[in-house]
């Protein structure tokens, strides 16, 4: 193989290069075939200058597998950069920070920060969730560490991480899609240096994301995900068994029918991956992340080479996939061009898409906050005086219980004491959202339903978007950055904390309008 091999960071940041990464899934044990395969693939990739990195997943589907870290070190020692999936699901913020120090020590610099799939398995029963901080917080923590800023009680020398984040353009409903994009803006403001898409097969959606980033001045490199799709995996994606990965009914049918047209089903999967590669190239994605169960080096080379060859005809291929994938159930952020599968420059007018509903509880709570429970409210000062008196009085315990009861009745409150309900349309991100996302939805919502409770509970951000949109303030979900909650306030009264300057609103990390800051 000829040519100088770029590091992953160099390839992703070089606008003249399409970075190529290979996604591998470490197995569930410490030894065995899947581990050997990861190392074998890394050895091939290290010798191939076209491949810039190996992406290693972190417990996909919420089941315990070997952590990507040790394996990442082995991959690095083989001679190729690992990109570690760094999830927030099983670690609290201190554990996250400890891991980051260990990575820095080992020279593991490339991270892909994400929420992570909800726990679905564990020793003698399902594991307890953690989700102490969300991916926007984690990206911000890493940026602060890179700048050598204080992140606990001590300041340490700057770290050298190169971090990316994930977004899904493949959502079906307006509320899910728009809030995904709002969160994307926050991730980049917090310091994400590149973006990778979720898995999907809709060319118009891939174009939509690129257009959204350009029109919102998001200038970080964008990497498309190409997954070698077999029929069984397509069926799992269609049935929402792989959170966030999207295959429509029509696409599933296509994959099924296509199997019969090739002597080896694998050939159909490889050709489809090469075709999606060609579409990514045509849409000017800055990088392509390729993955798929049991992919061998020869398969990977086929996708690269065939993909390059097909990229001349990428428009035709995109038209085929658009016709196959779009079953009419997807929301698109931009109006469609006439006589074309592609988006026009004009965003859909979100104020005209749905009939506005009246949410009485939202209106009442909003009124209470406008009158008393906000810093500019006319009754703020007398209320603060009363709360400060209460803070030092024996009646504080009774008030704490009454406040908790009221919030249990409305939001099943778990009394975190650092209440973000007013910022989330009076819905609690700590108790309603099982992943405790304070800054926007995870990637796992499905048709508006929560990843963890499909067909039972709507995603909190879908509910919050509908309520705020009806009140004419949907952008609130994009505007504000809510810092991690302070666990020292657990089991205390959030309203007393607010008036006494102890909750997140009083801390300097709370940002009411991220559009006014260059960097969170």
Query: Out of 291, 441, 448, 484, which residue is the one contacting ligand SF4 (CB under 6 A)?
Result: 441
Give the Cα separation of 232 and 481 in Å (integer): 40
Of 84-92, 122-130, 367-375, 434-442, the window that binds ligand SF4 (rule: CB under 6 A) is: 434-442
Closer Cβ to ligand SF4, 88 or 295, answer by number: 88
Query: Out of 56, 442, 482, 496, which residue is the one contacting ligand SF4 (CB under 6 A)?
Result: 442
DSSP tag of 99: H
Backbone phi, then psi, for 21, in 5-degree steps?
-125, 155
User: Does the protein bind ligand SF4 through residue 450 (CB under 6 A)?
Assistant: yes
Size of the site for ligand SF4 (CB under 6 A): 14
Give the Cα separation of 19 and 428 in Å (integer): 40
Residues near 510 by beta carbon (within 8 Å), at least 6 away in sequence: 480, 481, 482, 483, 504
Helix, strand or coil, per DSSP, at residue 334: strand
Query: Out of 197, 322, 445, 497, which residue is the one contacting ligand SF4 (CB under 6 A)?
Result: 445
Compute the least distance from the CB of residue 427 to ligand SF4, in Å: 10
Backbone phi, then psi, for 99, in 5-degree steps?
-60, -40
Backbone phi, then psi, for 81, in 5-degree steps?
-70, 130
Residue 192 tokens, joined: 């994400």
User: Does the protein bind ligand SF4 through residue 435 (CB under 6 A)?
Assistant: yes
Of 26-34, 255-263, 338-346, 457-465, the window that binds ligand SF4 (rule: CB under 6 A) is: 457-465
* Distances 67 to 30, 34, 54, 113 between C-alpha atoms, Å: 9, 13, 15, 15
Compute the least distance from the CB of residue 419 to ligand SF4, in Å: 17
Strand partners, 114: 87
| Cβ atoms of residues 198 and 244 within 8 Å | yes
| Cβ atoms of residues 82 and 54 within 8 Å | yes
User: Does the protein bind ligand SF4 through residue 22 (CB under 6 A)?
Assistant: no
Query: Out of 169, 444, 448, 484, which residue is the one contacting ligand SF4 (CB under 6 A)?
Result: 444
Give the burial string for 467-481 (b: 16+ CB within 10 Å, else e): bbbbbeebebbbbbb
Helix 203-215 vs helix 174-190: angle between axes, to the nearest 10 degrees? 50
> What angle (nearest 5°) sits at the alpha carbon of residue 405, between those of residues 401 and 410?
150
Of 27-35, 337-345, 384-392, 442-450, the window that binds ligand SF4 (rule: CB under 6 A) is: 442-450
Compute the least distance from the CB of residue 183 to ligand SF4, in Å: 9
Give the Cα separation of 516 and 71 in Å (integer): 41
Compute the least distance from the CB of residue 91 to ligand SF4, in Å: 17
Of 99-107, 157-165, 167-175, 450-458, the window that binds ligand SF4 (rule: CB under 6 A) is: 450-458
Compute the least distance from the CB of residue 429 to ligand SF4, in Å: 8
Closer Cβ to ligand SF4, 5 or 91, answer by number: 91
Query: Out of 433, 464, 477, 496, which residue is the one contacting ligand SF4 (CB under 6 A)?
Result: 433
Compute the least distance from the CB of residue 86 to ligand SF4, in Å: 18
Compute the least distance from the CB of residue 129 to ligand SF4, in Å: 10
Compute the least distance from the CB of residue 459 to ligand SF4, in Å: 3
Give the Cα separation of 74 and 79 in Å (integer): 9
User: Does the protein bind ligand SF4 through residue 489 (CB under 6 A)?
Assistant: no
Query: Out of 452, 489, 496, 520, which residue is the one contacting ligand SF4 (CB under 6 A)?
Result: 452
Query: Out of 23, 109, 451, 495, which residue is the one contacting ligand SF4 (CB under 6 A)?
Result: 451
Which alpha helices (H) appear in 86-244, and where do they start and end? 93-106, 135-146, 174-190, 203-215, 231-238
User: Does the protein bind ligand SF4 through residue 460 (CB under 6 A)?
Assistant: yes
- Strands 222-227 and 287-291, bridge-based pairing: parallel
User: Does the protein bind ligand SF4 through residue 423 (CB under 6 A)?
Assistant: no
Compute the least distance from the CB of residue 443 to ligand SF4, in Å: 8
Compute the least distance from the CB of residue 182 to ligand SF4, in Å: 12
Nearest to 195 by CA among 322, 285, 283: 285
Looking only at residues 382 through 411 of this chain, which bind ligand SF4 when binding is defined by CB under 6 A? none
- The residues binding ligand SF4 (CB under 6 A) are 433-435, 437, 441-442, 444-445, 450-452, 459-461
């Amino acid at each position: 193989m000829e040519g100088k091999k770029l590091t992953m960071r160099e390839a992703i940041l070089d606008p003249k290069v399409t970075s190529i990464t290979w996604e591998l899934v470490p197995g569930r044990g410490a030894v065995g075939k899947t581990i050997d395969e990861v190392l074998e693939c890394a050895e091939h990739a290290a010798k191939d200058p076209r491949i810039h990195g190996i992406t290693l997943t972190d417990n996909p589907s919420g089941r315990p597998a070997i952590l990507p870290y040790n394996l990442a070190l082995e991959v690095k020692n083989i001679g190729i950069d690992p990109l570690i999936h760094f999830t927030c699901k099983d670690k609290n913020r201190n554990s996250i920070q400890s891991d980051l120090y260990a990575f820095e020590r080992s020279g593991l610099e490339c991270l892909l920060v994400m929420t992570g799939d909800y726990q679905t398995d564990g020793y003698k029963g399902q594991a307890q969730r953690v989700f102490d901080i969300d991916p926007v917080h984690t990206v911000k923590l890493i940026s602060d560490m890179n700048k050598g800023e204080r992140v606990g009680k001590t300041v340490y020398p700057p770290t050298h991480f190169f971090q990316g984040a994930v977004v899904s353009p493949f959502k079906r409903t307006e509320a899910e899609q728009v809030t995904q994009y709002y969160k994307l803006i926050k991730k980049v403001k917090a310091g994400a240096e590149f973006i990778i898409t979720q898995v999907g097969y809709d060319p118009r959606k891939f174009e939509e994301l690129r257009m959204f980033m350009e029109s919102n001045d998001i200038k970080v490199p964008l990497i498309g995900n190409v997954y070698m799709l077999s029929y069984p995996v397509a069926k799992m994606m269609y049935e929402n068994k792989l959170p966030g990965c999207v295959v429509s009914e029509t696409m599933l049918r296509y994959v099924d029918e296509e199997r019969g047209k090739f002597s080896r089903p694998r050939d159909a999967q490889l050709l489809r991956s090469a075709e999606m590669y060609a579409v990514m190239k045509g849409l000017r994605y800055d990088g392509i992340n390729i993955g798929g169960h049991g992919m061998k080096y020869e398969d990977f080379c086929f996708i690269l080479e065939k993909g390059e060859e097909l990229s001349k005809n990428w428009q035709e291929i995109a038209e085929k996939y658009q016709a196959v994938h779009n079953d009419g159930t997807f929301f698109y952020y931009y109006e469609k061009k006439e006589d074309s599968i592609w988006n026009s420059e004009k965003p859909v007018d979100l104020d005209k898409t749905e009939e506005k509903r009246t949410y009485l509880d939202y209106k009442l709570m909003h009124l209470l906050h406008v009158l008393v429970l906000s810093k500019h409210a006319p009754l703020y000062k007398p209320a603060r005086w009363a709360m400060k008196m209460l803070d030092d009085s024996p009646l504080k315990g009774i008030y704490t219980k009454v406040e908790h009861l009221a919030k249990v009745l409305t939001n099943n409150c778990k009394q975190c004491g650092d209440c973000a309900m007013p910022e989330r349309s009076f819905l609690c991100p700590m108790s309603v959202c099982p992943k405790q996302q304070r800054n926007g939805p995870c990637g796992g919502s499905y048709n508006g339903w929560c990843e963890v409770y499909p067909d039972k509970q709507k995603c909190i951000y879908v509910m919050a978007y509908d309520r705020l949109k009806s009140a004419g303030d949907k952008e609130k979900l994009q505007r504000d950055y809510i810092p991690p909650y302070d666990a020292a306030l657990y089991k205390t009264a959030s309203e007393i904390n607010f008036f006494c300057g102890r909750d997140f609103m009083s801390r300097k990390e709370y940002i009411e309008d991220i559009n006014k800051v260059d960097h969170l």
